[in-house]
Amino acid sequence: MGQSYRQLVAWQKAMQLVSEIYKATETFPRHELYGLTNQLRRAAVSIPSNIAEGQARFSSKEFHHSLSHARGSLVEMETQILIAQELRYVPSNQANSFLRRTAELGRILNGLIAAIKSVA
């Protein structure tokens, strides 16, 4: 736990997703600005934010708790991507790319959570 949150692969991959989600939602209809656009962006931002916050607390229990919140935001984001795909706000190939990357990030978070549990 002595490393910076910026060195965590989970945080790095989550940050990349945030940028791409922001770019993708720029094309959403204007009437979704305070709806799906906002929710998707907030869920995306929440993932690396929770990873960073938890790592900074220097407590395995609190880090585990924050990683669980990041995992919750990740599945929230996955659901919102599926909704955006259903509404045709994002093409299927882009949605599938996002979903592959969220699945990968989910596996990384699960591994990190398991590692924290074994230390705690």
pLDDT band for position 14 (50/70/90)? very high
Q: What is the Cα–Cα distance from 44 to 76, expressed in whole angstroms?
A: 9
The reported pTM is 0.94
- Residue 117's pLDDT is 83
Contact in structure between 113 and 68 (CB atoms under 8 Å): yes
Give the pLDDT mean for 97-113.
97
**Residue owning tokens 């990384």:** 108
What is the rounded average pLDDT of the residues 24-47?
A: 97
**What residue ranges define each of the domains in the chain, with the CATH number in brackets?**
5-119 (1.20.1440.60)
Mean pLDDT of the chain: 95
* Closest to 103 in 3D by CA, of 75, 72, 84, 64: 75
SS3 52: helix
Which of 97, 104, 118, 116 shows the shortest CA–CA distance to 57? 116
Question: Tens digits of per-residue pLDDT, 55-101?
Answer: 998 789 999 999 999 999 999 999 999 999 999 999 999 999 999 99
C-alpha separations of 14 from 5, 42, 74, 100 in Å: 12, 13, 9, 13
Structure tokens at 114: 């398991």
Q: What is the pLDDT of residue 120?
A: 61
Q: Which helix (H) or strand (E) holds 96?
A: helix 92-119
